[in-house]
Structure 1
Amino acid sequence: MSVRFAQKTIGLGALGMMVSVILGAVGAHVLAGILTGKWLQVYQIAVEYQIYHSLGLILSGLLILYYPSCKALVAVALLMMLGIILFSGSLYLLVIFHYSWLGIFTPFGGVCWIVAWGMLAWILIRYRLHHK
Structure 2
Amino acid sequence: MMHAKRFLMIGVLLAMFSVIFGAFGAHLLKNTLSAARFETFSTAVDYQFWQALGLMVVGITGFKLNSKSWRLAGYSLLAGTLIFSGSLYLLIATDTGWLGSITPIGGILMIIGWALFAWSLRTLRIEQ
In structure 1, distance between residues paired with 2:123 and 2:3: 20
Alignment of 1:51-70 (within 5 A): 51-68=49-66, 70=67
Structure 2 distance, partners of 1:104, 1:33, is 26
Identical aligned residues as a percent? 36
Q: Give the match for residue 111 of structure 2.
A: 114
Alignment partner, residue 87 of structure 1: 84
| Structure 2: stretches of 5+ with no match in the other structure | none
Alignment gaps of 5+ in structure 1: none
Aligned match of 1:38: 36
Counting matched residue pairs gives 126
TM-score normalized by the length of structure 2: 0.93
Show the counterpart of 1:99. 96
In structure 1, how many angstroms separate the alpha carbons of the residues matched to 2:124 and 2:55? Answer: 20
Tell me, yes or no, if structure 1 residue 72 matches structure 2 residue 69: yes
Runs (4+) of structure 1 moved beyond 4 Å?
Answer: none
Whichever residue aligns with residue 91 of structure 2, its letter is L
> Shift in Å at residue 53 of structure 1?
0.4
CA RMSD of aligned residues (A): 1.5
Distance 1:92 1:71 in 2: 31
Name the counterpart of 2:10.
Answer: 12
TM-score by length of structure 1 reads 0.90
